């Protein structure tokens, strides 16, 4: 098993673990961390995909994809954190309320 394949498989593992963590943790911050772990997994897989073999230079397109992905992930995480903080302010809880469709306007 080459190093590249190892990176790719670890990336896959991180993605799966991240999704698992997103589902089982009720605490909002943990859900966000789990999502970030999943994102790291995808980025690691992309970096592995940039491998061009011993002779060639690495493929720069996946690197650019990862850079863009990181920026997008930061933006989304920042928004999510402020939302979570606001939910905490308004409701006093760090977990999302159970879905209550009859709740007021």
Partner 1 sequence: MTLPAWIVALPLLAAALMTAVPRSRLLMVGSAAILTPALVAFLARTILRDGVLQMQLGGWQTPLGIQLRADGLSVAMLGITAVIMGVITLYAWAYFRDHESSRYFWVLWMFLWAALNALFLSADIFNLYVTLELLGLSAVALVALPQKAAALTAAMRYLLVSLSGSLSYLMGVALLYAANGTLNIEMLANTAQASPATSAAFAMIAGGLIMKSALLPLHFWLPPAHANAPAPVSAVLSALVVKASFYIMLRLWLTLFGALTSPSIAQILGVMAAMAVIWGSIQALLADRLKMMVAYSTVAQIGYLFLIFPLSQLAQGSQEALQGGMYFLFSHACAKAAVFLAAGTVIYACGHDRIDGLAGIVRQMPVSMFAFALAGTSLIGLPPSGGFIAKWLYLNAALRNGQWWWCALLLGGGLLATAYIFRFFSIAFSNREEIVSARPVPKMMEWPALGLAVCAISLGLVAPAVKKLLGVGGLF
Partner 2 sequence: MKRAEKKRSGSRGVNSLAALGAAALASILAWAVWTLPPYPERMSNLVAENMHRSGVENPVTAVLLNFRGYDTLLEIGVLLLALVSVWSIGTSTARPAAEKPRPILMLLLRLLLPFMLLLSGYILWIGKYAPGGAFQAGAILAGGGILFISATDRPIPTGIGMWRSAAAIGLLVFILIALATSATLGEFLRYPVAIAGGLILLIEAAASISIGAILINLFVGAEPGQAHSGFSRDGQNRNIEKESSIE
Residues that bind partner 1 (CB under 8 A): 15, 18-19, 22, 28, 31, 35, 38-39, 42, 45-46, 49, 61-62, 65, 68-69, 72, 75-76, 79-80, 83-84, 86-87, 90-91, 96-97, 99-105
Task: Kindly tell me which of 24 and 96 has the beta carbon lying closer to partner 1.
Answer: 96
| Among the listed residues 21, 43, 42, the one whose alpha carbon sits nearest the alpha carbon of residue 32 | 21
Regarding 63 and contact with partner 2 (CB under 8 A), the answer is yes
CB of 2 to partner 1, least distance (A): 14
Q: Where on the phi/psi map is residue 99: left (φ > 0), alpha (ψ -120 to 50), or beta?
A: beta
Size of interface with partner 2, in residues (CB under 8 A): 53
Q: How far is CA 81 from CA 28, 30, 77, in A?
A: 9, 11, 6
Q: How many CB atoms lie within 10 A of CB 80?
A: 16
CB of 87 to partner 2, least distance (A): 10
């Amino acid at each position: 098993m080459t190093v590249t394949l190892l990176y790719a498989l670890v990336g896959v593992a991180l993605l799966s673990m991240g999704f698992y963590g997103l589902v089982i943790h009720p605490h909002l911050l943990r859900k966000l961390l789990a999502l970030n772990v999943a994102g790291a997994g995808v980025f690691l897989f992309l970096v592995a995909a940039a491998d061009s073999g011993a002779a060639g230079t690495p493929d720069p397109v996946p690197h650019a994809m990862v850079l863009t992905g990181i920026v997008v992930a930061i933006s989304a995480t920042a928004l999510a954190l402020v939302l979570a903080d606001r939910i905490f302010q308004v409701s006093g809880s760090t977990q999302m309320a159970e879905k209550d469709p009859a709740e007021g306007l």
